[in-house]
Amino acid sequence: MYVAKGKSVSEGVALGRIKLYKAPVYEINDNEIEDAASETDRFMTALDKAIHVQMALYDVTLAAAGDESAEIFKVHAMMLEDYVLRDAVIEIITEQKKSAEYAVNEAFNAQAEVFSLMDDPYMQARSEDIHDIKRAVLDVLFGIDQSSFKETEPTILVADELTPSETVKLDKTLLLGIITGGGSPDSHTAILARSMNIPAIIQCKEIDESWDGRIAIIDGYNSCVYVEPTDDMIESYSKKMQEDVEKYNLLKELKGRDSATADGRTIRICANIGGVSDIESVKDNDADGIGLFRTEFIYLESEAYPTEEEQFKAYKYVVESLAPKQVIIRTCDIGADKIAKYMNLEPEENPALGYRGIRICLTRRDFFKTQLRAILRASAYGNLGIMFPMIISLKELEEARQILDECKEEFIREGVKIGEYQVGIMIETPAAVLCAEELAKHCDFFSIGTNDLTQYTLALDRQNANLEPFLDTHHPAVLKAIGMTIEAGHRHNTWVGICGELGSDLSLTETFLRMGVDELSVNPKSVLPVRKVIRGLDLG
């Protein structure tokens, strides 16, 4: 037996035979061409076909894995329609007299490198999407049909890399699990694996060609791969797989039930989302609303500042889709590890302590007002909350509310309909915790961002892998800060939620309820497991 380690991106257990998958190798030369016009036509025809392929993959994925996963391929189609990328390819063809294949490879690789050099892990993962759509165009140019890759028996797929397009083309009824040598937790391939409940291990550096055809076990809970496991291990993990099926079926029975303890204490369990594509997952997992809409991803996925109308459509869709449940929209929390190039933010030595969140909004008011106007317009279509990030003082909160009031007064004068809404802030720093008593007087709600609160309380950069052994998310100081915030909020009738990673930590659920928290906002797939724990508690 051989044991390999990696990083789990989709929990669960898989048991089956390994199939090694190798992506096609493109033989691209840099010879000069004679007819640039003809080569440009070849490229444009291939581009058009590749776009149609992405939309076909959208339809397939929509049926197999839902709207959240299918949206990946709509985004891919939009990337292929990007005139900047298209023009970069045509320029190489016409100016350098190179083939369409060479030009596509060069231009797309250059764009992928731009993403890979960004600090934000989510944006780094978008480089994989660029490589995926590059392969889609090259497949057409080379006449390669990847849909011909079919399995005839249940398989654990092993590959150096696996793109979303390659993943979705596989027969899901025969795909037991995925192991890759590279990849990232934020990649769309990882998102697809999670949405399809396929156990997946990435960054497994020990992959070997000798694994092909061997029996293996993926342990997605402990990030392990067992090649040629013993009979005892096979028996043990087979039982674990059956237990997982039974637990999943039990969780589905909790849909539509209250999140209430045995002694009658009810709490809201809401979902965190990054965009409109997450809505189906929110509904499927029966969340009580959205406790955190991370609007910065709208900015990160745009080539320029998103307009008021573009933002309004996104916010309206989410608010309308979830009505009458509440949707809390956090204003743009850009900066630190989340950088939009067009904002021209200067590099910083300590970005986590730098120009980010509300600090950017209050010093770039036109950009801030555009977003607030879009949010206010969306308030007419459902139950909405507006949340300001990184507030550390009453002065900042008053300034943010003043700008919000200016937008509201403009709409009143213009006769634009807006609805009722609540206003709250993120509690993410020790400063906010210590000022919570005063801040609560001016807020309808608090939402505790435990990721940053832990980082700033413990003085540990959560992006620094070297500090992981020192990062204690259950540190007494962090838990005490959470308790102090809840108490301060309740003294002024301000309800308090938790929207960071600790919200889905089942070992702390009872602790948070005993502290008096009013809401837990978690990733959509954690809603039902948290509800199960809550319904098993008796706080009396």
499 is catalytic: yes
Phi-psi region of 12 (alpha: psi -120 to 50; beta: other; left: phi over 0): left
Going through 231-372 in order, the beta strands assigned E by DSSP cover 268-273, 289-294, 326-330
C-alpha closest to that of 183 among 171, 165, 201 = 201
> In which element (H, E) is residue 474 found?
none
Map residue 158 onto helix, strand or coil: strand
| Rounded Cα–Cα distance for residues 468 and 372 (Å) | 37
Tokens of 356: 């980010």
Candidate list 270, 332, 407, 499, residue with the active-site label: 499
SS (H, E, C) 334-397: CECCECCHHHCCCCCCCHHHCCCCHHHHHHCHHHHHHHHHHHHHHHHHCEEEEEECCCCCHHHH
| Rounded Cα–Cα distance for residues 232 and 239 (Å) | 11
Candidate list 188, 270, 332, 435, residue with the active-site label: 188
| Rounded Cα–Cα distance for residues 540 and 537 (Å) | 9
Cβ-based neighbour number of residue 67 at 10 Å: 19
Map residue 208 onto helix, strand or coil: coil
Tokens of 169: 């083309």
**Cis, peptide link before residue 324, omega less than 30° from 0:** yes
List the catalytic residues: 188, 499
